[in-house]
Amino acid sequence: MSENSKPVDPSRREFVVKASAATSAAAIAPGVFLTAPASARPADQPVTGDKRWGILVDTNKCADNCNDCVTACETENGWGDSEPNSAPEQRTQWIRTVEIKNKSTGYAKTLPLMCQHCETAPCVDVCPTGASFRRDDGIVLVDKHICIGCRYCMMACPYKARSFIHEDLHDQKPWAPRGKGTVESCTMCVHRVDEGGTPACVEACSAENHNALIFGDLYDENSEISRELQKHDSVELRGDLGLNTGVRYRGI
Amino acid sequence: MKTALIYRETEGKSTGFWVLLGGLGAIMLLALGAVLHMEHSGHHVTGMSNQIVWGMPHVFAIFLIVAASGALNVASIGTVFGKPLYKPLGRLSGLLAIALLLGGLMVLVLDLGHPDRLIVAMTYYNFKSIFAWNIILYNGFLVITVVYLWFMMENKMNKHYPVAGFVAFIWRLILTTGTGSIFGWLVARQAYDAALMAPMFVIMSFAYGLAVFILVLMASYNWTNRPLGDAILYRLKNLLGVFIGAVLYFVFVYHTTNLYATEHHGIERFILLDGGIYTKLFWIGQIILGSLIPLFMLYHPTIGKSRPAIATAAALVIVGGFAQLYVILIGGQAYPLEIFPGYEVTSSFFDGGINSYSPSIWEITLGAGGIAFALLMVTIAVRVLRFLPETLADAAIDPHAAAKAD
Amino acid sequence: MGRILGLFILSLLWLPLPATADDMETLPFSNLSFPEPETHYSATQECVEPEEEMRKNHMNYILHQRDKTVHEGIRTRQHSLEECVNCHTAKDEQGEYIPVNAQDQFCSSCHTYASVSIDCFQCHATKPERSSTLHKVSGGAVHHSDQALTSNTLQIPAAEGKDK
């Protein structure tokens, strides 16, 4: 399987030169590359632990009855209407809005709940094959190639973030493969993040000017998310479990 | 002087034998059909969901696996603890352990979302997962018990079987500790996350395993017209009583500990008081039918000496075992996760409420198939190899009876 | 009984077995034909790797790439499964894409013959959905949908030929 002895295709070399020129030219285009080059990683470089991706949810900015983040995730990753044969309890949900009401005071609030991308994720610990894993940059994923569908990670998740696919699927998005008999959860739109983008939920929330979701590199002191976390208090859900989640909440 | 014990295969020619084989085989075929259906359509045909993740198949599988470990107890008492009365039962004990374990593993594997990836499960290991350790422990248990049986059954190797028996004994304790830890190590759920789960499962294995063993023993001697003496049977039934009492003790400690902590009042209230089916299964199924009535029956001076009563008590223990596992497994998942303590929670993903579960016929059939497989394997094995002593009459095996007779 | 078995085994020797992958087209029992992709990878090469290499080892490229993509976030396009689908999916008379794993389509034409079932498309999309970045290298005509990536950044130039 050695490829080292192949001659380099001259048209390929020419392409790389042209593409680099084109890319640098495009970098001048306003708005497109302002933040991307710093976080866009070359496609053939592995992710490293230099970054840790996280999301800050400002629940004070979450409107009741708003489902923009959920809808955006459904469209992006293709799980919205993909399981017609499954009962409602069997249908996938990568992110959901949760209405909470304080039993003593009556204070009520809505907030989105998705995979918390814990540093010491219980789902990663319990997976017998290692299919549930944490990438070096903090995103917790399921390698569906080696998932055997035992659902132990679903038993272990303190946030009920994981879903099992109960039927044959069709028309999956190429950037979000998903199939029967495996477990899945929010990927923090890893396909977008790897190309310097932001998760669909965050993008949708900002597009509608709610700005309740902030995405960024938790290890970068100067990123927007880090500055916000330093300015105002935030909590992890079920913080007593000590999981050091990548998703933090303000306002609860 | 006591004559040497002869082990002999069962005759295996009667109508009853073929009816038994046919019946068990039919159940297995139905189970395989159920598996094909679940595998082909996907798990949407089952009652399991994203809220109740593990269902009936797991109740059956875990019962069989836990009972398998306990079934080997009888052999261990003979080998490791050197009780002569138990030694003739060693071979059947090993056989039953293997059969029950295989039945349980069969159900577990066939319920996977990707049973075709079993080879992946056996080659990719995450050693932080107790589930992965269990896979190694289960397979190791099979190998060790086969070796133990071989040493018991092969005259040349007889001198080695004490070592094998000891290894099997320790391995079995580790295995059942691992099975209990599957639940005990889950921090996420109110009903689990308890160190007590591991030893409780060990004690449960003693009770269930012995109950199954007693029933299989009585059936196999009754249906082959071989004598089964009171001496051994009464020892076994008394031991079963001890194990039932021990399980009750662990259940008592588990619930009283939980009841002392306010944070666990929700789950305790759910299981003990207003959980509907789970409360009924706990009190009526597990405690009354599964523990108190069998205890009474087994220790009663006259009832405890009647064979139908002993068999009924053992059967009730098994029923109680299923009830207990249903409450632990399903009840533990029915109660919602406490993500926001002190808050009422609702969502489109069924947060904050009691989750409902109704097992589908496919899951129950699969579970029954596991039991049928185990019993089928035992039925065929005792016909083909010399697992069962010709006689277990008092005069033949009880050292005290022999002394009295002289 | 032994003789019958021996005769049976002997008769198997009459079956022409492929010495190399190139013999596949001349085998009996096989009506191997599949829709050829409209584009070539480059002027000198039809596929991302030479044809014989792909016939023998395509599964190794796929397996290697999937681990790199999932675990390390390496999303080079040379051996990307999505790019395979982008090239090898055919269209029907109405101009709609036929799922690449359908009967008589590209994958099945060999896999049915070889009796090797694949479960890639239980999860992976069977039709192209976004622009291929391989066409920039091949110089061939565009053969896919024009729908752009949904992220706001430009498509990164593929680091062609640098896969290890």
Residue C14 lies in a domain: no
- Angle (CA) B239-B243-B249 rounded to 5° is 145
- Mean residue pLDDT of chain A comes to 89
Question: What mean pLDDT value characterizes chain B?
Answer: 95
With CA atoms as reference, report the closest residue to A173 among C123, B3, B64: C123
Is residue A18 over pLDDT 80?
A: no
Residues 11-50 of A with CB under 8 A from C: 11-12, 15-16, 19-20, 22-23, 26, 32-33, 36, 40-47
In a domain, C3, yes or no: no
| pLDDT tier, A39 (very low <50, low <70, confident <90, very high otherwise) | low
Strands (E), B23-125: none
How high is the pLDDT of residue C135? 54
Cβ contacts of A3 on chain C, cutoff 8 Å = 49, 161, 163-164
What is the SS3 assignment for chain A?
A: CCCCCCCCCHHHHHHHHHHHHHHHHHHCCCCCCCCHHHHCCCCCCCCCCCCCEEEEEEHHHCCCCCCHHHHHHHHHHCCCCCCCCCCHHHCCCCEEEEEEEECCCCCEEEEEEECCCECCCHHHHHCCCCCEEECCCCCEEECCCCCCCCCHHHHHCCCCCCEECCCCCCCCECCECCCCCCEECCCCCHHHHCCCCCCHHHHHHHHCCCCCEEEEECCCCCCHHHHHHHHCCCECCCHHHCCCECEEEECC
Query: What are the tens digits of pLDDT across the range B30-54?
Result: 999 999 999 999 999 999 999 999 9
| Chain-chain contact of A155 with B49 (C-beta, under 8 angstroms) | no
Q: Residue C145's pLDDT band (boundaries 50, 70, 90)?
A: very low
C55 touches A: beta carbon within 8 Å: no
Q: What is the DSSP string of B140-200?
A: HHHHHHHHHHHHHH-GGGGGGHHHHHHHHHHHHHHHHHHHHHHHHT--S-TT---TTHHHH
Give the 3-state secondary structure of residue C142: coil
pLDDT tens sequence across B263-311 = 999 999 999 999 999 999 999 999 999 999 999 999 999 999 999 999 9
User: How far is Cα A32 from Cα A28, in angstroms, rounded to an integer?
Assistant: 8
Query: What's the confidence (pLDDT) of residue C25?
Result: 42
User: Is the confidence at residue A9, as pLDDT, over 70?
Assistant: no
Is 70 exceeded by the pLDDT of residue B371? yes
**Residue C131 binned pLDDT confidence (cut-offs 50, 70, 90):** confident
Q: How far apart are CA B362 and CA B371, in angstroms?
A: 15
Band (pLDDT 50/70/90 cuts) for residue A16 is low
> Is some CB atom of chain B closer than 8 A to the CB atom of A169?
no
A46 contacts in chain C (CB < 8 Å): 68, 72-74
In A, which residues are within 8 Å of B50 by CB distance?
Answer: 89-93, 154, 160, 162-164
Tokens of B367: 């579970």
Distance CA B317, CA B325 (A): 12
Half-sphere exposure of residue B340, counting CA atoms within 13 Å on the CB side?
23
Instruction: Provide the pLDDT for residue B182.
Output: 96
Residues in chain C within 8 Å Cβ distance of A76: 150
Instruction: Using CB atoms, pick whichever of A16, A20, A197 lies closest to residue C151.
Output: A197
Judge contact between B130 and B185, C-beta under 8 A: yes
Dist CA A57 CA A215 (whole Å) = 9
pLDDT of the residue at A22: 52
pTM of this prediction exceeds 0.90: no
Interface partners of chain B (CB pairs < 8 Å, 3 or more) are: A
CA distance A69 to chain C (A): 15
Q: What is the pLDDT of residues B115-173, one digit of tens each?
A: 999 999 989 999 999 999 999 999 999 999 999 999 999 999 999 999 999 999 999 99
pLDDT interval class at C146 (50, 70, 90): very low
Residues of chain C found within 8 Å of residue A134, distances taken between Cβ atoms = none
* Separation CA B191–CA B303 (nearest Å): 37
Instruction: Look at residue C130 in the predicted model and tell me its pLDDT.
Output: 84
The more confidently predicted of residues A56 and C77 is: A56
3-state SS class at C119: coil
The C-alpha of C130 sits at a distance from chain A's nearest C-alpha, in angstroms, of 8
pLDDT confidence of residue A3: 44
Do the beta carbons of residue B209 and residue B173 sit within 8 Å? no
Q: Which of A8-22, B94-108, B180-194 has the lowest mean pLDDT?
A: A8-22
| Residue in this structure with the two tokens 């405690």, named with its chain if needed | B287
Residue C29 lies in a domain: no
Domain ranges of chain A: 49-229+238-250
A125, B343: Cβ pair inside 8 Å? no
Specify the residue for token string 């681990």.
C67
Class of domain B15-404: mainly alpha
Q: What is the mean pLDDT of residues A54-74?
A: 95
Query: Who wins on pLDDT, C110 or B173?
Result: B173
Write out pLDDT tens, residues B338-352.
999 999 999 999 999
CB spacing of A194 vs C73 below 8 angstroms: yes
Query: Do the Cβ atoms of C39 and C138 come closer than 8 Å?
Result: yes
3-state secondary structure of B302: coil
pLDDT at A15: 53
Which value does ipTM take for this structure?
0.93
State the pLDDT confidence band at C11, using cuts at 50, 70 and 90. Answer: confident
Q: Which residue on chain A is closest to B110 by alpha carbon?
A: A150
Closest Cα in chain B to A180: B42
For tokens 């008769």, what's the residue?
C11
Query: For testing the chain A interface, which of B53, B111, B362 should be mutated: the one with the most A CBs within 10 Å?
Result: B53
pLDDT digits (tens, 9 = 90+) for A125-158: 999 999 999 999 999 999 999 999 999 999 999 9
Taking CB atoms and an 8 Å cut-off, how many pairs form between chains A and B?
181
Asked, for residue C30, whether it belongs to a domain, the answer is no
pLDDT tens, position by position, B184-211: 999 999 999 999 999 999 999 999 999 9
Q: What was the pLDDT predicted at B277?
A: 97
Instruction: Tell me which of A100, A105, A116 to substitute to probe the interface with B (most B C-beta atoms closer than 10 Å).
Output: A100
| Domain extent for C129 | 40-163
Average pLDDT over residues B52-68: 97
Q: Which residues of A touch B131 (CB under 8 A)?
A: 126-128, 150, 152
Q: How far is Cα B355 from Cα A142, in angstroms, rounded to an integer? A: 25
Measured between alpha carbons, how far is A9 from B103 in angstroms, rounded to an integer? 58
pLDDT of residue C112: 87
Q: With the C-alpha atoms ordered B137, B141, B144, B148, is the resulting torsion angle positive or negative?
A: positive
Q: What is the domain partition of chain B in residue ranges?
A: 15-404
> What residues have CB less than 8 Å from B301, skipping those under 6 apart?
none
Distance CA B239, CA A30 (A): 82
CATH code 3.30.70.20 for A49-229+238-250: yes
Q: What is the mean pLDDT of residues B104-113?
A: 96
Residue B320's CB is within 10 A of a number of other CB atoms, namely 28
Cβ neighbours, 10 Å, residue A211:
12
